[in-house]
Amino acid sequence: DTGVSQDPRHKITKRGQNVTFRCDPISEHNRLYWYRQTLGQGPEFLTYFQNEAQLEKSRLLSDRFSAERPKGSFSTLEIQRTEQGDSAMYLCATRRSNTEAFFGQGTRLTVV
């Protein structure tokens, strides 16, 4: 257990539905990242928060994706109108400045 908590661990949803994932970071970690990982590939960067500010978004993050970190603590990642191509493991990572990143165990999304 790294101290980064993600919920749920698994989510099965029908195509077209909205889903929301939550990440609870280690308490003193001000930087929070979301990644997506498909089978056989390394994690791909989606977005980054420093405290409550979303400072960078990948081009992978289409307009169906939105992420928030309202009080600089937990973060949510929402996918609207899910598609089968959204099926993947969604990983959250957090860190303090100039230290290593700690990853959660991820949320595995299956869109049927």
Partner 1 sequence: LAKTTQPISMDSYEGQEVNITCSHNNIATNDYITWYQQFPSQGPRFIIQGYKTKVTNEVASLFIPADRKSSTLSLPRVSLSDTAVYYCLVGAITGFQKLVFGTGTRLLVSP
The label of the residue with tokens 């969604």 reads 90
Q: Does 106 bind partner 1 (CB under 8 A)?
A: yes
Q: Binding marks (x or -) toward partner 1, 60..79, rule CB under 8 A?
A: --------------------
Question: Residue 53: which H helix or E strand, with range?
Answer: strand 53-57
The number of CA neighbours under 13 Å toward the Cβ of 30 is: 7
Q: Does 104 bind partner 1 (CB under 8 A)?
A: yes
Give counts: helices (H), strands (E), the chain.
Answer: 0, 11
Q: Does 17 bind partner 1 (CB under 8 A)?
A: no
Contact positions toward partner 1, by CB under 8 A?
2, 4, 31, 33, 35, 40-45, 48, 55-56, 89, 91-93, 95, 97-106, 108
